[in-house]
Structure 1
Amino acid sequence: MSFLDISEEIRQLGAQAEKAVRPYFDVIDEISEYNTEKVLAAFAKNRVAEAMFAGTTGYGYDDKGRDTLDQIYADIFGTEAALVRIGFVNGTHALCCAMYSAVKTGDVVLSATGPAYDTLMNTITGDMAGSMKQYGIGYRQVEMKNGLPDVPAIAEAAKAEDVKLVFIQRSKGYGVRESLSCEQIGEVCQAVRAVNKDAVIMVDNCYGEFVEKLEPTQVSADIIAGSLIKNPGGGLAPTGGYIAGRKDLVENASFRLTAPGIGAECGCTMGQNRLLYQGLFMAPHTTAQAVKTAVFGAQVMQMMGFEVHPLPEDPRHDIIQTIAFGKPEPLCRFCEGIQAGAPVDSFVTPVPWDMPGYQDQVIMAAGAFVQGASIELSADAPMREPYVCYMQGGLTYASGKMGVLLAAQRIHAAGYGK
């Protein structure tokens, strides 16, 4: 029987790291249990039955499973409505539809957390057809202060009468900043509400679902959006995204997804309902596995002498772990190791490439059952200083741990780290 190529020295490093972080796992498990009960209660309330797993074709009228899943998401996130569809091609698509639910020509979008994620900026300020810029929708942003939202500056900027949408990005994206807790998001919401009661507050919730006990819509956000191949899909959803929030905003977003007057009434599910339901049921547990993998990875990389954020002992607000390598070589070796620990395409060597939607070349390690699924162990980074890698995912902690150790092995073999 063969095993992975991990030296005894690196295995011992892993054992020491795991011993150090074990106490933090109890908190992660407690949050997972809390959110699992919340999901289970929503399933029971909405009387989920096997008949709801049957797929529809064509227009998808009267898809009971699809419509019930919308209500389950709304119940879990504490909102009036939700839109859960395999027709969303990725998180950016869902976010784009959610943004257009609140603005029209002449309005302004205010980003409270600096620039939005690279691909979403194309929606806002891009020169291509269909962008907000092309529709005459303005954009302003408030820079982060010491890695956190500058609440007084946000309140001042939000006073403008033409600001109709205030955008908050929960996760750090490719930025070197804090990922926001729901408590921090709530503080921003309160500051905006105090000066502009008409503006819609939207949160990019990608990577953050089920990491905490609360969600942004439970701390005054009007609408949130995310991807089903991240946390809420539980590693089982094959594609799709979701939007949850105020009923009128969700309806407006549905018109952007399909067409005005059609909205959520159409959209067949083609037999995918079972995976969306089962993935959501698994999501709190699967998210906890990813968070444990991130904590373990932070401890190992810190012991090897690299700067990590969050620190192993820090509270977690999303599944992302950053490691600053300072130069491209150890970054590439790390990604090679993560790829070698993947169940799919483990034999592939990741290299930097011109990825659509990004200004810099990106290196991405991702050997997933679902292409691009960030809830599965992956690591990616824009090839620019300070060469920070963003690791996320891990369907099981045991497999995520192996991926981290293989990454440590590649770095050590190349002569980097302690």
Structure 2
Amino acid sequence: MNQPATKVLVIGYVWPEPRSSAAGGHMMQILETFLTQGWDITFSSPAALGEHKADLAALGIAECAIELNNSSFDDFICELAPDIVLFDRFMMEEQFGWRVEKCCPHALRVLETSDLQSLRDARHQRLRDHLKAHPDGEDFSALFTPALKQEFQLMADTDLAKREIAAIYRCDISLMISDVEIRLLIEQFKVPAALLHWCPLMMQPPTAAFAPFEDRAHFLSIGNFRHAPNWDAVLWMKNSVWPLIRQQLPGAQLHIYGAYTPPKATALHNAAQGFHVMNWAEDALQVMSAARICLAPLRFGAGIKGKLADAMLCGTPNVTTPIGAEAMGDDQPWPGAIEQNAPALAAAAVALYQDRERWTQAQEQGRQLLARRYDQALHGPALVACLEQCRRNLAAHRRDNFTGSMLRHHAHKSTQYMSQWIEAKNRNL
């Protein structure tokens, strides 16, 4: 007799937009991995529909809008009775975790962290402090290479870190896109390794021939403008990096693509300077495949960078910073260049743009890196195996995570009472 299909409920912070952000792309990779197992998936979210939402229904994934601070969710999840609940980012675990535990105590609770938001925010603050102290400085090496202990000290007193890491403890498994962040959590925050699973971007390594050097032109930068690290990178390019490139390549053109382009970004468009703000790319891989160099001068951030993975997928060498390359490579040569200040970034970009032999070598290094670190055929089955093993041993797994049990006991009570108070208040309005 056939076993019933595993039921998965995803509680999304937003509806997935794989063509707008790396987080949306990673969520779709996870959903596709579940679909290959024949699992029955429902995606729910309290968010409004975005402009570029994926067509989940076409994949056979049920969709359901849910509300914050509303007991209608309890009826919904009790009827669905999922075997696995995946929280898309820690804010959803804060909002709905206590309801999931109350209604479906035996469901495996999984957190998709996307990246450590508390790390990203702490690095953003460090950049602000650095710019105040050195308003005309261009050397950011002190920001790019801190030890994990320094990162911990930067994060440890923040409310955001306490909230985010508490959510990791309260869940049975947290999916971590960055192995550097796994080390940070284990070595500095003392999170048990059994609560963390490395789940990077999952891609099929390219096998077809790439467009060659001669058929490529221009520089490209891409990224959702709502993501603060991307906007900061655009400003740094505009003010520091791009003028240096144009000095050496007067005819150079930079095309900047990004979802949700705000007026402040459009205002930077200057065709005379070769600085083109292009809005959203209907097909990001197509425009990436036509470019000769991908620029990603990120001064802060966390996780791993979908734009750089896409560049490798398209055979487009990249020039980035240690923040951009963090957790993306290994001990083999990087498919492009990694630099720490504007003059070095510009020099590397110009040299790579003009050197056909080095460019072709970097293109092939990107193909090899994707195969080594991001092969869907390896990471998809590993994710499924992790979840199934945890389900089989759930009672012991939770017993070993006493800190998580304690945090659920206290935090869920306060969250529950606050949510119920808000719901009652809303009914009386």
Greater gyration radius: 2
TM-score normalised over the length of structure 2: 0.30
TM-score normalised over the length of structure 1: 0.31
More helix by share: 2
